[in-house]
Structure 1
Amino acid sequence: MTNLISADLLDEIIEFRRDLHKHPELSWQEKRTCAKICEKLQSWGISHRVVAGTGIIAEINPGLTNEFLAFRADIDALPVCEETGLEFSSVNSGVMHACGHDGHTSMLLGTIKTLALQNLPYSLRFLFQPGEEHGNGASRMIEEGALENVAAIFGGHVDRHYTPGEIIISSGAVNASTDQFHITINGQGGHGARPHESIDTVVIGSLIVMALQTIVSREVDPAKPSVISVGVFSAGTASNVIAGTAKLEGTIRALDNDVRYYLRESIKRIALSVGGLHGANVEVNFIDGTPPLINEKNMADLSQEAARTVVENEQIKGLYTANMGGEDFSYYLEHVPGSYVRFGSQIKGRENFPAHSSKFDIDESVLAIGAAYFSAVARIAGQKFLE
């Protein structure tokens, strides 16, 4: 590996990451986190402003070029009780940086310090975004001007599936859409001993659950990964009472927007049909989630060019499999070109603790890799977009 950040800067951002990890804050509650980032930026003389409540926009060389290159890190934590045993484990009960956002934030700070010292002839913008875990932080940042005069945007995520030093870059869809569905079934309650007097919503709901599983397996091209999962099935009040109402809730994941909307229509068609077949009234509602995150090939190529200045060719990899998790960075890419990559952060002995696990942790050497990569992107993308 070449062109990494200085040892002193790495120590500084590791210390910052550990402080954030010890004091995690949930989405839209990141007040201390925001204050600590601002304090660091102020100490470095970096122009910045607070937006979206607890978000931050920092800039280097504003006005030097007509447009900015933008870089984003998410700053929020999760409602998880930490079980890592780390010396800097969370002191906030029931809250944990179980997805690596403490690492992303520290990595971006390392990028800022590195680029501030390089005096690049470009305008650079850095977004510290709240609310990613709620899926609406990016939209709020956009509403408050995060993408004004932005030519391209770049981001990344730590990944325990890959080893430190590996940068994972793929073109096409790299994260799935994350819509929700809510199905309400209204039948006729009654005595469990006399089912013929009732319209049993537990039976109808069960039929709907099973029928929904045929959509992906029988209606969608197998080459286009998608998922329909029912996570909530609530009905009934007693063992001898037939439930008159049942509710189903679930998630829809797709890497293709056409498939995304087809799944919604199929869920509605099947739920209404099964309900009608058994004499129940069924309502189906959807809650929009994040869209699929799609890297255009030319932007993935630019990321690979930058990565080659930081790590060896064999350390640049594509995704092993389709990633059906969501990421609200996708909202930025609906407005401007950009690229989203993953950074290997696996710790030996912790390979089986996934993101959102109470035992999740990262190899902190990833902070140097990420900061060096984003710095390389700034140099290369600046030549492409701003000269």
Structure 2
Amino acid sequence: MKIRKEIQMQYDTLLRIRRELHQIPETGFDTYKTMAYITQQIPIMVSEYDGFSGVFYLQGQNKKCLGFRCELDGLPIREKNSFTYASFNGNMHACGHDAHMAIMICTLLYFIQYPPKYSLLFIFQPAEESGGGANYMIQKGIFEKYGIEYLLAVHVFPHLKDKIGCCKGVLMARSCEIKVIVRGKSVHAAHSEQGIDVIKILYQFLNWVDELKGNLKSDLIHFGRMNCGEVCNAVAAYGVLEGTMRCFDDINYDMIRTQMIRQLSIIDEEYHSTSEIIFSEGYEKVVNDEKLNEYVLQIAKEDYVEMKPLYLSEDFSFYRKKSPCCLYLCGLSSEEDLHSSSFDLKEEECLKAVEMNVSLAERIFCEMM
């Protein structure tokens, strides 16, 4: 992808901002230090800003408004990297949100230098990883206040190298976390037949889940954590199983939940146990607007990759309740997956995302005329 000279000249700024942010990761809504840093990087020439909510507004001659969104929060992961800008506070920007912020600041700085005719809103959103951040921004009324007509976002993505990934329709899955709690009866191992063994119960439930998964075409169910019992020589009377579910179809999502609840009820009746299953609210599907995806294709040209729906999830999904949205992927050469404690990236690979943001804005502004 050809990157204009004015954006190439931002490389040192992008590198510095990304690495300084990488050293101060915060989680959830507790992103005050991060937001204070961002506010320091943005000149006072913006028309309006709310440093607490993370909103910066550039008003053009025409109030028709295009929005950009990025995330502020990191993850509670202890970083294993040893480079000079590594984090040492027990958190880590292991999902590239530091790069997203740097990309967006450079996009904002470009439009301060080259003011567009139309208006722009830059949303720095907390709590993407833990959930609640997107709905918080929506509840602040920013779509109504600024009249956002379209909303764009970028996510860095390993293994795509120098490509731009996107698709029309569903890009990321609907998701929720699952917690299964089973209560049985503990007795000494010498009299195990008199107990109600939750390990045996959860084993049977997991076997049923494996059979269910064999009948699913595109949905994902995975249990990654189980904790049972207190001592090795007694029947476990309490167990917790935790996992995740990802679906591209809302009907399947509801059906799987119903089947899990019913199966646990059947197992409880058989073993005389007491179970409950808790589903988090989770994220909705990320659905890209067809027209905005077409703009991504037109700009990226031969660097465009048509993505198949991903089992990843993102709370960017909630914004489509308010306006047409598009989330595209900025390819990285990194071999480390997102959320890895060794994740890192090359900042020069992020310049193409700044170019994409600017070019998409210019293309959308042409439509707004």
With normalisation by structure 1, the TM-score equals: 0.89
- Between the two proteins, what is the percent identity of the paired residues? 25
C-alpha deviation, 1:69, in angstroms:
0.9
Give the counterpart letter for 1:167 in structure 2: I
Give the whole-Å Cα distance in 1 for the aligned partners of 2:243 and 2:354. Answer: 37
CA contact (8 A) 1:152 1:336 kept: yes
Length, aligned pairs only: 366
Tell whether 2:191 aligns with 1:194: yes
Q: Secondary structure at the match of 2:100?
A: helix
Tell whether 2:143 aligns with 1:147: yes
Q: 1:237 to 1:357 in 2, by over 3 A?
A: same
CA contact (8 A) 1:169 1:341 kept: yes
Tell whether 2:226 aligns with 1:233: yes
Give the whole-Å Cα distance in 2 for the aligned partners of 1:22 and 1:204. Answer: 45
C-alpha deviation, 1:45, in angstroms:
4.3
Give the counterpart letter for 2:293 in structure 1: A
Q: Deviations over 1:105-141 (max 9, x none)?
A: 0101111111223322111111011111112211111
Give the counterpart letter for 1:96 in structure 2: M
Give the whole-Å Cα distance in 1 for the aligned partners of 2:352 and 2:21. Answer: 19
Give the whole-Å Cα distance in 1 for the aligned partners of 2:84 and 2:57. Answer: 34
Q: Aligned residue for 1:302?
A: 295
Give the counterpart letter for 1:160 in structure 2: P
Give the whole-Å Cα distance in 1 for the aligned partners of 2:211 and 2:11. Answer: 50
Tell whether 2:95 aligns with 1:107: no
C-alpha deviation, 1:380, in angstroms:
1.3
C-alpha deviation, 1:216, in angstroms:
2.5
Q: Aligned residue for 1:314?
A: 302
Q: Aligned residue for 2:312?
A: 325
* Residue segments in structure 2 that go unaligned for 5+ positions in a row: none
* Residue segments in structure 1 that go unaligned for 5+ positions in a row: none
Give the whole-Å Cα distance in 2 for the aligned partners of 1:211 and 1:47. Answer: 55
Give the whole-Å Cα distance in 2 for the aligned partners of 1:248 and 1:195. Answer: 22
CA contact (8 A) 1:41 1:47 kept: no
Give the whole-Å Cα distance in 1 for the aligned partners of 2:122 and 2:244. Answer: 32
Give the whole-Å Cα distance in 2 for the aligned partners of 1:183 and 1:25. Answer: 30
Q: Aligned residue for 1:71?
A: 68
Q: Secondary structure at the match of 1:360?
A: coil
Which of 217, 233, 236 aligns to 1:243? It is 236
Give the whole-Å Cα distance in 2 for the aligned partners of 1:230 and 1:327. Answer: 20
Give the counterpart letter for 2:357 in structure 1: F
Give the counterpart letter for 2:351 in structure 1: A
Give the whole-Å Cα distance in 2 for the aligned partners of 1:45 and 1:70. Answer: 14
With normalisation by structure 2, the TM-score equals: 0.93
Q: Deviations over 1:338-378 (max 9, x none)?
A: 1100001214xxx1x21111211112113321111111111
CA contact (8 A) 1:233 1:247 kept: yes
Q: Aligned residue for 1:174?
A: 171
Give the whole-Å Cα distance in 2 for the aligned partners of 1:208 and 1:3. Answer: 53
Q: Secondary structure at the match of 1:126?
A: strand
Q: Deviations over 1:206-241 (max 9, x none)?
A: 1011111222322x3x2xx21111223222111221
Give the counterpart letter for 2:189 in structure 1: G
Greater shift in the superposed pair: 266-275 or 3-12: 3-12
